[in-house]
Amino acid sequence: MSWQGQVLRVNLTAGTCEAEPLNTKWAQEYLGERGLATKYLWENMDPKADSMGPENVLIFATGPLTGTMASTSGRYVVVTKGPLTGAIACSNSGGKFGAELKYAGYDLLLIEGRSEEPVYLLIQDERVTLEPADEIWGTTVWNTEEWIRSKHSNPQLKVATIGVAGEQGVRYAAVINDLHRAAGRSGVGAVMGSKNLKAVATRGTRGVAVKDPVRFMEAVNHAKKILVDSSGRAALTKYGTNEMLTTQQAFGGLPTRNFQEV
């Protein structure tokens, strides 16, 4: 496991950014990413909170393998109370943002409150600041990423941002990172917009470590071989998750007519 042992708590109402110890008991019990983030959401928010209100909590979470050589370990999740359903919402994205957050020293980013003015969060290892986002509010996700990297003269910054849909509270808005990677489910971008948070930009130099690198790489290589030899790999490589559409339909996984024909 490659835990960094820190949670970054950002209160947009107060304008504070503070690191706190990771709850290692929860990390062991809930493993990380979706499970751990859901536990933090449950413990830090009133279940009756308005999903688009300042009392909602928005969490970016990594897992114990994030940033390592393990396959698919670049992914991260966004967890919050969803604006579409009022239930727990979880959206998953790839790219390099998750690993970069981990390299900056944080297993989980917990955002609460609402900023009075548009801001973005800048994370550079232990240096964490809230920056004015007036110049990029109302712009596309692509322009936002490019502007932030240029503003800070750092092409290595990894950025997760919302576009105009998120700013306007469209309840199925996405969070986009690395220009074309999407946490596209459950309207997490709308919650981010409701907090007047345009983007999170992170750059880390701390890396990650595992307890037994030799045995870890043996397990990684074994898992990679299983993936390469898998019968579904070629189709997924060619078509992406669209390849699973027919299978999903066959066992009733698609909400056609609100599942009335399952």
Domain 6-203 classification at class level? alpha beta
Give dist(CA 191, CA 207) in Å, integer: 30
HSE-CB of 63 using CA atoms within 13 angstroms: 21
Domain spans in the chain, listed from the N-terminal domain onward = 6-203, 214-259
Q: Per-residue pLDDT tens for 55-73?
A: 999 999 999 999 999 988 9
Which residues, 6 or more positions from 257, have their beta carbon under 8 angstroms from its beta carbon? none
Please give the pLDDT value at position 99.
97
The separation between the first and the last C-alpha atoms of the chain, rounded to the nearest angstrom, is 40
HSE-CB of 38 using CA atoms within 13 angstroms: 13
Please check whether residue 69 is in contact with residue 155, taking contact to mean a CB–CB distance below 8 angstroms: no
Give dist(CA 193, CA 196) in Å, integer: 5
Please give the pLDDT value at position 96.
96
Please give the pLDDT value at position 232.
82
Instruction: Bin 187: left if φ > 0, else alpha if -120 < ψ < 50, else beta.
Output: left
Helix (H, G, I), strand (E, B) or coil at 198: strand
Q: Per-residue pLDDT tens for 2-20?
A: 899 999 999 999 999 999 9
Give dist(CA 229, CA 242) in Å, integer: 20
Where the chain has pLDDT below 70, the residues are: 1, 262
Please give the pLDDT value at position 249.
85
**For every residue of the chain, which 3-state class applies, written as one string?**
CCCCCEEEEEECCCCEEEEEECCHHHHHHHCCHHHHHHHHHHHHCCCCCCCCCCCCCEEEECCCCCCCCCCCCCCEEEEEECCCCCCEEEEEECCCHHHHHHHCCCCEEEEECCCCCCEEEEEECCEEEEEECCCCCCCCHHHHHHHHHHHCCCCCCEEEECCHHHHCCCCCCCEEECCCEEECCCCHHHHHHHCCEEEEEEECCCCCCCCCHHHHHHHHHHHHHHHHHCCCHHHHHHHHHHHHHHHHHHCCCCCHHHHCCC
Please give the pLDDT value at position 1.
67
